[in-house]
Amino acid sequence: MSNWIDIAALGDIPQRGARMVKTALGCVAVFRTGDDQVFALDNACPHKAGPLAEGIVHGTSVTCPLHNWVISLETGQAQGNDEGQVATYAARVEEGRVLLDRAFLRARVAA
Amino acid sequence: MTTRLVVIGAGMATGRVLEHLFESEAGYDVTLFNAEPRGNYNRIMLSPVLAGDKSYADIVTHDADWYEVNGVTCRFGERIAQIDRVAKTVTAANGDVVPYDKLLFGTGSNPFMIPLPGHDLEGVIAYRDLEDTERMMALGASNKVVVIGGGLLGLEAAAGMAARGVDVTVVHIMAHLMERQLDEAAGYLLRKALVDKGITVKCSANSKEILGENGHVRALLLDDGTELPCDLLVMAVGIRPNTALAQEAGLAVGKGIHVDDQMVTSDADILAVGECVEHDGAIFGLVAPLYDQAKVAAQTLTGAEAAFVQKELSTKLKVTGCDLFSAGDFMDGPGREDIVFRDPGRGVYRRLVIADNVVVGAVMYGDTADSNWFFGLIRDKTDIAGMRDTLIFGPAYQGGTPLDPLAGVAALPRDAEICGCNGICKGQIEDAIAAGATDLGAVRATTKASGSCGTCTGLVEQVLAVTLGDDFVLPAAQSICACTDMTHEDVRRMIKSQRLTSMPAVWQECGWKTSCGCHVCRPALNFYLLADWPLEYRDDPQSRFINERKHANIQKDGTFSVVPRMWGGITTPNELRAIADAADKYMVPTVKVTGGQRIDLLGVRSEDLPDIWADLNAAGMVSGHAYSKGLRTVKTCVGTDHCRFGTQDSTGLGIKLEKQLWGAWTPHKLKLGVSGCPRNCAEATCKDIGVICVDSGYQVSIGGAAGMDVKETELLVQVTTEREAVDVIKAVTQLYRENAKYLDRIYKWMGKVGLDWISERIVDDLDSRMALVDRFEVSQSIYRKDPWAEHASTRAETYRPLANLSLEAAE
Ligand code: SRM
Ligand SMILES: Cc1cc2nc3c(=O)[nH]c(=O)nc-3n(C[C@H](O)[C@H](O)[C@H](O)COP(=O)(O)OP(=O)(O)OC[C@H]3O[C@@H](n4cnc5c(N)ncnc54)[C@H](O)[C@@H]3O)c2cc1C
Ligand code: SF4
Ligand code: FES
């Protein structure tokens, strides 16, 4: 069995946008940047659990829709003076498909 | 003893193999077949041949003498039809059977032809060989050509034909040109350069059908109904490895002919090189790796040990005047950072993508002099930590020049309009400065620039700074955000005077310091662009705050609230029933009457939004835009219909206004009120625009608010007819849309430009009023529609999870 789960076509996520993936342990936001990189993060802001998938994506960051914290898509770390971190999961694009590392399901069970 | 080598295809790759082979004097007896009726030539130079810069003779790489000296038996114009791997023979198209000891494949690739209806018409060609090139060279100024494909090949074909005076249109399916090599900003500069060469460029354009007449191509039909007439249609949309012969011969074939690191196929006596091969999952379309393969294949044939290794690739476009370079991989890879440099004056754009202190990608436009140095950094994975701050300036500038915040204004031509109110161009301001006006007051006094609404003050000061240098100290101005040094007002003026109609255009011409803006500037730019260019610009949902992207208000728990319109506060039993039914069906936790005379359904799940909207739509209700920087509510009182004091039909006017204005985007929210008499039950005098009905007509006043600031409106005008009242209100709305800073409500904007300035344009000048009304209507022809209906029918999927892995085992 492959270690990567095929989630969807890259085109299903808008550029500079995100879509949500449901898992048994809550939602994961899968982001696509302006230059077609993808990132997967827990869909809950470290501040007050704002749904990050609904934020504005710029560069490799997302701005939370509730109170404008800026979160790095690469590290999950809050930027600037804010402190906090969201869990990130391995994701990549191959031949136009978005893939998530199967290990992320395990990581979520452990979390 | 000599070994018999048969070569299939005299292309760029096999030409190199033979050169290396004969250098090593390995004693091969070579027979060279080529389907094209000629020997090896430099295919990539077909573009300069097309453009008229070179002739075919200039690009031949191996001539008759060379083949003779090296004893090559040339069978040009002859295609190999079959291979017998057991007998070790090939069969030529004319039936000749030729034995081999070793066989070398170099069949290249076939251009991909989109199977559109009409693709087999006469006059539909690819761009691959000399025949195609000659077809294009035969065209002249009276001809029209359509090129499908805005990649490297398509653009070289287009530029080559345009240089011959041909009327060329490029049709590209993606949003910007060469999207695989370039980002949006470089794509924007490239497009601008091609348009300057007279080429028409259509991006985001889908081809539907090729139309013909008497078996010959006549036009290309796009799926939006546009017909592009043409005498020749060039399809340059990609290539596919030419593997048919290898497949028939039973070799292992995937996307291309499988080869190992020694370039040997699944048959030990058969090698393959070039675009026809697949190595380690990759296929190839540029010559640099093919040359490496050729060297390895020659070494394998002579018994030397060698292995082919894939390397980073770079791309340049062979079009005069379009200096671009791209290298490395922009598609994926975690842990990346951008460094961006723009010089709007010289049309220069540079972007480096960095991961772990190594440059992994570079895009450059306009000044590619240092591209080899950057490519070297990428290839060698040089640690750039020590030169990071000045890296973007290239090898010569290690030490560094700072970014120039005035570059955008310095780059403006003399005829760029700076002051919109008084029609004053940059040149006139420069002349006034030269004549001694060395401060803002003096420039204002002599030219009137910035003397009216004042929003161009920042730009006038920048012209002073650029012209006077250190003699003028620029007052500190608040820039939009850290992405730019310009203020909202400066950027709005630039968008208008330089006709910037896309975000990448603004980023480049105003010298943005990031590659694609941030959550502060993007929503503002999106509004400015759609307000100024309603027909050219397309709204970008990804640059909107979630409420405006999903057409509902986000709540603190991530659910949404849904507020349908109740025109002028009037509703019906049927509407109320539909709202009640929806509240039941979607288990809405809270139903509240708002302060805006309508009903709010709070706590709806994102997934349910398209369905609840569809239900409300079915009862005739549309979005109330309770989330928008746009028209919110028009509050009314009961007026002459019922009230004993009512002087005019305030409810009817409110409904009319709401139906005319809904859907319009504005700098901030826009609320209206219409009261039937000065008792003012609709609180019209604390709205952005208020109407008080009186016996003699309608008093229209503006600039009220009752939020963080409480403001009473100021009277703009009293008119006698309802028609005039509606026109005045549309004109105020449009003037506000065209001029205000994003997130200024009318009272704030009015505080800057003054009621008199507004009044001059709407009350005193009737032509100006009607022109504003007309421009408002043009915009409304696009935006006066229900976003809920549109999203429910075409985008419902995007509201639901992308995938559900709840049942996926996590063992
Ligand atoms: C629902 C409602 C309260 C209610 O239950 O009555 C409401 C709810 C919100 N208002 Fe309001 N305002 C509502 C009427 C008002 C009014 C009264 C009115 O319109 O007559 C005002 C004062 C009048 C005015 O605007 O001048 C008002 C002044 C504000 C302000 C302050 C604006 C200002 O310029 O100072 C904000 C904040 C903002 O917009 O930046 C705001 C922002 C909000 C937001 C959008 C806060 C947010 O960003 O999430 C609230 C969204 C709730 C939701 O999820 O639905 N709301 N808000 C009212 C909806 C009216 C409607 O039918 O569309
Ligand atoms: C207009 C143009 C511009 C280009 N510009 C660039 C550039 O700037 N930079 C860059 O790196 N690359 C460029 N390329 C791509 C580059 O030309 C190709 O990558 C390269 O030519 C491929 O070499 P090849 O030997 O694999 O195939 P080819 O050069 O295509 O040679 C294959 C040959 O095999 C023959 N053949 C096929 N089947 C048979 C058969 N059964 N029997 C006999 N003969 C057969 C074909 O007729 C052909 O002549 C350009 C290509 C084109 C068309
Ligand atoms: S007054 Fe404040 S809390 Fe109440 S609805 Fe308006 S914004 Fe929300
Ligand atoms: S919940 Fe994300 S910023 Fe507050």
Query: What pLDDT does B403 receive?
Result: 57
What does the H/E/C string look like for B674-735? Answer: EECCCCCCCCHHHCCEEEEEECCEEEEEECCEECCCEECCEEEEEECCHHHHHHHHHHHHHH
pLDDT at B809: 56
User: Considering B221, B237, B253, which residue would you say is the last residue of a domain?
Assistant: B237
Are residues B560 and B552 in contact, defined by beta-carbon separation less than 8 angstroms?
A: yes
| Domain CATH for B581 | 3.90.480.10
- For residues B413 and B476, membership in a common domain is answered with yes
> What pTM was estimated for this model as a whole?
0.75
Q: Is residue B310 part of a domain?
A: no
Question: CATH number, domain at B149?
Answer: 3.50.50.60
Give yes or no for A109 touching B (CB within 8 A): yes
What CATH code is carried by the domain that includes residue B421? Answer: 1.10.10.1100
Percent of chain B residues topping a pLDDT of 90: 72
Q: Does A77 touch chain B (CB under 8 A)?
A: no
Query: Average pLDDT for residues B83-90, to the nearest whole number?
Result: 96
Check pLDDT > 80 for residue A1: no
Q: How many CB atoms lie within 10 A of CB B482?
A: 11
Q: Is the pLDDT of residue B68 over 70?
A: yes
First to last CA, chain A: 24
What is the domain extent for residue A92? 4-110
pLDDT band at A41; cut points 50, 70, 90: very high
For residues A36 and B382, give the distance between their C-alpha atoms in angstroms, rounded to a whole number: 25
Are both B510 and B416 inside the same structural domain? yes
Q: How close A44 comes to chain B (CA, Å)?
A: 10
The residues, any chain, with a CB within 8 Å of residue B688's CB and separated by 6 or more, are B669, B670, B671, B672, B702, B703, B704, B705, B745, B746, B747
B730 touches A at CB < 8 Å: no
pLDDT in the model for residue B698: 98
Check pLDDT > 70 for residue B254: yes
Q: Indicate the number of domains in chain B.
A: 6
Alpha helices, H only, B510-638: 521-532, 546-550, 573-585, 609-618
b/e per residue B468-481 (b: at least 16 CB within 10 A): eeeebeeeeeebbb
Same domain, B411 and B530: yes
Give the domain range for residue B333. Answer: 323-397
Q: What band does B423 get if pLDDT is binned at 50, 70 and 90?
A: confident
**Is residue B89 packed enough to be buried (19+ CB in 10 Å), middle (13-18) or exposed (0-12)?**
middle
* Residues in Cβ contact with B208 at an 8 Å cutoff, skipping those fewer than 6 apart: B116, B221, B222, B223
Tell me whether residue B129 is exposed, middle or buried, using C-beta atoms within 10 angstroms of its C-beta: 0 to 12, 13 to 18, 19 or more.
middle
For residue B1, pLDDT over 70 is answered with no
Both B530 and B571 in a single domain? no
Q: What is the pLDDT of residues A49-85, one digit of tens each?
A: 999 999 999 989 999 999 999 999 999 999 988 899 9
Of the segments B237-241, B496-500, B776-780, which one has the largest average pLDDT value? B776-780
Phi/psi-derived region of residue B321, left when phi > 0, alpha when psi is between -120 and 50, beta in every other case: left
E-strand ranges in B64-162 read 73-76, 80-84, 89-92, 97-99, 102-105, 109-111, 124-125, 144-148
pLDDT band, very low/low/confident/very high, at A108 (cuts 50, 70, 90): low
Closest by CA to B434, choosing from B396, B478, B475, B464, is B464
**For residue B40, which of B65, B59, B21 has the smallest C-alpha distance?**
B59
B230 neighbors B217 (Cβ within 8 angstroms): yes
Identify whether B793 is part of a domain: no
Within this chain, do residues B228 and B131 fall inside the same structural domain, yes or no?
yes
Write out pLDDT tens, residues B333-382: 456 778 888 888 778 888 888 888 889 888 888 887 777 788 888 888 88
8 A C-beta contact, residue B29 and residue B126: no
Mutate to test the pocket of ligand 1, among B563, B600, B628 (most ligand atoms within 8 A of CB): B600
Q: Which token pair is B97? A: 């059977």
Ligand 2 pocket at CB < 6 A: B 8-14, 33-36, 43-44, 46-47, 79-80, 106-108, 127-128, 153, 156, 242, 245, 274-275, 285-288, 290, 318
Using DSSP's 3-state secondary structure scheme, residue B44 falls into helix
Nearest to B255 by CA among B269, B242, B268: B242
The gap between the terminal CA atoms of chain B, to the nearest Å, is 63
Residue B632 lies in a domain: no
Percent of chain B's residues with pLDDT above 70: 97
How close is the Cα of B557 to the center of ligand 4, in Å? 11
DSSP structural state of residue B796: G
Q: Are residues B438 and B570 in the same domain?
A: no
Q: Does A71 lie at the interface with B, CB-CB under 8 angstroms?
A: no
Please report, for residues A21, A22, B201, B376, B795, the alpha-carbon distance to residue B803 in angstroms, rounded to integers and kept in the order given: 5, 6, 37, 42, 16
The tokens describing A99, both together, are 């893939």
CA pair distance B156, B51, nearest whole angstrom = 9
- How far is the C-alpha of B160 from the C-alpha of B52, rounded, in Å? 8
Q: What's the pLDDT at B367?
A: 81
Asked, for residue B375, whether it belongs to a domain, the answer is yes
**B59 near B94, Cβ under 8 Å?**
no
> Do B360 and B388 touch, CB atoms closer than 8 A?
no
- DSSP 8-state assignment for residue A79: P
pLDDT tens digits, one per residue of B663-714 = 999 999 999 999 999 999 999 999 999 999 999 999 999 999 999 899 999 9
CB of B217 within 8 A of CB of B123? yes
Residue nearest to ligand 2 atom 3, measured at CA: B44
Over range B513-518, report the average pLDDT: 88
Sequence-ordered alpha helix ranges (H) in B215-348: 244-248, 287-301
Residues of A in contact with B514 (CB under 8 A): 58-59
Q: A102-106, B134-138, B492-496, B497-501 — which is least confidently predicted?
A: A102-106
pLDDT at B400: 46
A69: nearest CA partner in chain B: B519
Which of B542, B545, B561, B607 should be substituted to probe chain A, the one whose Cβ sees the most A Cβ atoms within 10 Å? B542
Residue B437 has pLDDT above 70, yes or no: yes
Q: State whether B163 and B249 are in the same domain.
A: no
For B335, the closest chain A residue by CA position comes to: A74
> What average pLDDT does the segment B511-518 reach?
88
Does the pLDDT value for residue B615 go beyond 60? yes
Give the strand order in the sheet containing B324-328: B314-316, B324-328, B358-365, B348-355, B336-343
The model's pLDDT over B762-797, given as tens digits with 9 standing for 90+, comes to: 999 999 999 999 999 999 999 999 999 999 999 999
The span from the CA of B613 to the CA of B634, in Å, is 21
pLDDT at B650: 97
> Does residue A10 belong to the interface with chain B, where contact is any CB pair within 8 Å?
no
Q: Which of A57, A31, A20 minimizes the C-alpha distance to B544?
A: A57
Clarify whether residues B376 and B427 are in a common domain. no
Check A105 against B808: CB less than 8 A apart: yes
Question: Which residues share a beta bridge with B32?
Answer: B7, B74
pLDDT band at B78 (very low <50, low <70, confident <90, very high): very high
- Show the tokens assigned to B72: 């090559």
B312 in any annotated domain = no
Provide the pLDDT confidence category of residue B274 given band limits of 50, 70 and 90.
very high
Calculate how far, in angstroms, residue B672's C-alpha sits from the geometric centre of ligand 1. Answer: 14
Nearest ligand to the C-alpha atom of residue A48: 4
Structure tokens at B111: 């251009």
Query: Are B271 and B363 members of one domain?
Result: no
**Pocket around ligand 4 at a 6 A CB cut-off:** A 45, 47-50, 64, 66-69
- The span from the CA of A29 to the CA of A51, in Å, is 8
Taking the C-alpha atoms of residue B733 and residue B30, their distance in angstroms, rounded to an integer, is 80
User: SS in 3 state form for B384-436?
Assistant: CHHHCCCHHHCHHHCCCCCCCCCHHHHCCCCCCEEECCCCEEHHHHHHHHHCC
The mean pLDDT value for B398-406 works out to 57
Q: How many domains does chain A have?
A: 1
Q: How far apart are CA B504 and CA B187, in angstroms?
A: 9
Residues in A touching B516 (Cβ below 8 Å):
16, 34, 58-59
Spatial contact of B724 and B716, defined as CB atoms under 8 Å apart: no
The residue whose CA is least distant from atom 63 of ligand 1 is B626
Residues 6 or more apart whose CB falls under 8 angstroms from that of B551 comprise B609, B613, B623, B625, B627, B787, B788, B791
pLDDT at A110: 60
pLDDT at B811: 47
Q: Please name the residue that has the structure tokens 């029209």.
A: B144
In one-letter notation, the amino acid at residue B452 is: S
> Alpha helices of B277-352 — where are they, by DSSP H?
287-301
Q: Is the pLDDT of residue A104 over 80?
A: no
pLDDT digits (tens, 9 = 90+) for B531-542: 999 999 999 999
Asked if residue B435 and residue B417 are part of one domain, the reply reads: yes
Is there a contact between A36 and B803 if contact means CB atoms under 8 Å apart?
no
Chain mean pLDDT for chain B: 92
In eight-state DSSP terms, residue B2 is P
pLDDT in the model for residue B332: 42
Q: Tell me the CA–centroid distance for residue B594 and ligand 3, in Å.
A: 11
pLDDT tens track for B277-313: 999 999 998 888 999 999 999 999 999 999 999 888 8
pLDDT at B377: 87
| CATH number, domain with residue A78 | 2.102.10.10
Q: Report how far residue B311's alpha carbon sits from residue A95's, in angstroms, rounded to the nearest whole number.
A: 20
Q: Residue B392: its pLDDT value, please?
A: 82
Whether residue B650 is found in the same domain as residue B779: yes
CATH at B715: 3.30.413.10
Q: Are residues B530 and B389 in the same domain?
A: no
- Rounded to two decimals, the ipTM of the complex is 0.75
- What's the rounded mean pLDDT across residues A30-37? 91
SS (H, E, C) B615-668: HHHHCCCCECCCCCCEEEEEEECCHHHHCCCCCCCHHHHHHHHHHHHCCCECCC
Kindly report the CA angle at B348 between B346 and B349, in degrees rounded to 5? Answer: 160
pLDDT over threshold 70, residue B399: no
pLDDT of residue B198: 94
End residue of a domain, out of B335, B363, B397: B397
The answer to whether B704 and B638 have CB atoms below 8 angstroms apart is: no
Mutate to test the interface with B, among A4, A10, A22, A102 (most CBs of B within 10 A): A22
Specify whether the CB–CB gap between B82 and B175 falls below 8 A. no
CA atoms within 13 A on the CB side of B523: 21
pLDDT at B396 over 70: no
